[in-house]
Structure 1
Amino acid sequence: MRHAIFALSAAAVTAVAAPSIAQDTTEVAWGGSSPGGVMYYMVGVAGTELGKDLPEINITQVTTGGSTENAKRLIKGELDMGIVYGSHVYMSQEPEGPFAGGDKGTMLRGVAMAYEGPTYFVALGGSGIEELSDLEGKKVALGPPGSGTVFNCSNILTALGLLDTIQPQMMTFADAGRALGNGQIDAFCQSSSPAAAVTELAETREITILPYSDEQLATISDTYPFYHAGTMPETTYKGVPATDMPFTTVYWVAHERVSEDVVKKMVAAAYDKQDALAAGHKAWAQMKPDVANFQKLGAPMHPGAEAYYREQGLWTE
């Protein structure tokens, strides 16, 4: 278990060097996802870039299943920060869905909107799988256990009456990309873009992103109001045209115990270095306060984030 705690570090002292002054270092455990997932690379980039400007804060990237696990581990106090779907912040306040029977997420605090992520299904070109109904009877990887991808993919298939018609597989994003390329599965589902597993597959194979009809998008939004229709640009993956699909909003979330000073420093550094973060992963280009929408989920913003946004004139309720 890692917490936002202060640990004393001392520089080595030699016979010719004066003793160094001890410096307090804050340890921050930040949950992302498994390799191949957007959250994994976002946290990795943030740890590297923010660490350059904040040597007093040691960010540890924690590999997890994704959003669902991040939220649960934040609630348990096993993480200090995480990338979490807005739907999971909302459900954890009840708690309901994947959080039913557990503690409420009353300790979750917003830092920033990380990005808006689409959920979509990937098949190989020429496989005969060209629309969502073609998934019936097929082996479909839904993501790693505990991930927000499994949550989103299952919701969407449920809304469309397809969940009970497929052969669901659970595997990491990277494994799913390899398994599809090797013919071990027929399709896989991915939340957020661009995802490394899809990008890498598209470089060597022709891929198909299964389209949603307007009626299907409306059905999904009517069934689960935390999804909204959006368009994934044609520049996202090689050979894939612009495609309409269901999106959900994803947030950078902190545990309430992380100090105001630490969060303020981290969020300030993140906005100062947003171009560098986005160069590491495109999703960081979407980061913004999104205060009002986050608070509608039933959780407040972190005092450190609030202080920064008020100073910058970015606070809106």
Structure 2
Amino acid sequence: MRKTLFAVSAAALTALASPGQAQSTEVAWGGSNPGGVMYYMVGVAGTELAKDLPDVNITQVTTGGSTENAKRLIKGELDMGIVYGSHVFMSQKPEGPFEGGGKGNMLRGVAMAYQGPTYFVTLGDSGIESLDDLDGKKVALGPPGSGTVFNCSNILTALGLLDSIEPQLMTFADAGRALGNGQIDAFCQSSSPAAAVTELAETREITVLPYSGDQLAKVAETYPFYHTGTMPETTYKGVPATDMPFTTVYWVAHERVPEDVVKRMVAAAYDKQDALAAGHKAWGQMKPDTANFRKLGAPMHPGAEAYYRENGKWQD
């Protein structure tokens, strides 16, 4: 048995109570580092869903983000995770960050969590006005094992800029502080609103670097799992609406999580979606998206499928 908090898995439906009491199901749910969107999403979900599901014990697991979540799901170290659609797709091969490892054939879809943009942030007085101006600069790409590093590296590669920067790996919160202190020139962030960017924008003037139309087309041509979307002007203080590459992010479960547990968690999440969104705006985007998820090569979890079919939300 693993000597970690994952030793009790949802698959076992471990009884933590004494005989005659209801069993409690342990669910280890991977998010990201503090300062990242996934971290707060999982924290909010654990708090809100526990109010309706006292027999489901959700443990928020701090991770590097999407890449690590997918890898740990594949290894059986997590029961649920927030994972980029691109990572679900690549893990089925496996290729990219999953090359040489186990296939993600145990990943099951629960819901589309949100669509997230990838963008680069600098200080308003840095003199950096475009992505090309990052040449020779210190740029934080996210924490090791994160989906942010994956996305930022992909975009810089597509634009021919990856080899021209000085890449730094650090947590989102550390990157925000490092930029404010002048230790780095810019940092990259996936998903919004991100706490690290919001907090920095409250005390300093920031710039989110714009993408040209040609750059957006080049990113989509190089990596088809990105599409162009617009980050609204209300996202960060002083930042106008900006077009940028988006990727779709999913709530994913391991196949071992019991059908009834997932079904009840999904039902509670939709019933409490307003409360979840009040905790973090990204939850307001949650929807079934069942057809698009299955195009990634993985099926929906039977519990989620049962809920969607019974409520007329299944998409073929």
Is the pair's TM-score, using the shorter chain for normalization, greater than 0.5? yes
Corresponding residue for 2:226? Answer: 227
Cα distance in 1 for partners of 2:170, 2:247 equals: 22
- Structure 1 length-normalised TM: 0.96
Report the alpha carbon displacement of residue 297 of structure 1 after superposing the two structures with TM. Answer: 0.1
Corresponding residue for 2:186? Answer: 187
Corresponding residue for 2:94? Answer: 95
Corresponding residue for 2:56? Answer: 57
Q: Indicate whether 1:156 and 2:155 are aligned.
A: yes
Cα distance in 2 for partners of 1:55, 1:161 equals: 51
Cα distance in 2 for partners of 1:176, 1:62 equals: 21
Cα distance in 1 for partners of 2:55, 2:309 equals: 24
Q: Indicate whether 1:7 and 2:33 are aligned.
A: no
Cα distance in 2 for partners of 1:9, 1:138 equals: 53
Corresponding residue for 2:291? Answer: 292
After superposition, the C-alpha distances for 1:243-280 in whole angstroms (9 at most, x for unaligned) are 00000000000000001000000000000000000000
Cα distance in 1 for partners of 2:189, 2:32 equals: 12
Paired amino acid for 2:28:
A
Corresponding residue for 1:42? Answer: 41
- Structure 2 length-normalised TM: 0.97
The number of aligned residues is: 309
Q: Is the 8 A contact 2:17 2:24 kept in 1?
A: no
Corresponding residue for 1:205? Answer: 204
Report the alpha carbon displacement of residue 316 of structure 1 after superposing the two structures with TM. Answer: 1.0
- Within 5 Å, which residues of 2 pair with 1:214-293? 214-293=213-292
Cα distance in 2 for partners of 1:58, 1:139 equals: 42
Report the alpha carbon displacement of residue 21 of structure 1 after superposing the two structures with TM. Answer: 3.7
Percent of matched pairs sharing the same residue:
84
Cα distance in 1 for partners of 2:156, 2:17 equals: 54
Q: Tell me which structure has the larger Cα radius of gyration.
A: 1
Cα distance in 2 for partners of 1:9, 1:231 equals: 47
Q: Is the 8 A contact 2:114 2:285 kept in 1?
A: yes
Q: Is the 8 A contact 2:123 2:186 kept in 1?
A: yes
Report the alpha carbon displacement of residue 10 of structure 1 after superposing the two structures with TM. Answer: 3.8
Q: CA RMSD in A?
A: 0.9
Cα distance in 2 for partners of 1:107, 1:247 equals: 26
| Superposed structure 1 runs of 4+ greater than 2 Å apart | 5-11
Structure 2 counterpart SS, 1:177: helix
Corresponding residue for 2:79? Answer: 80
Cα distance in 2 for partners of 1:95, 1:8 equals: 35
Q: Is the 8 A contact 2:17 2:23 kept in 1?
A: no
Structure 2 counterpart SS, 1:199: helix
Q: Is the 8 A contact 2:227 2:246 kept in 1?
A: yes
Paired amino acid for 1:249:
T
Cα distance in 1 for partners of 2:309, 2:13 equals: 27
Paired amino acid for 2:116:
G
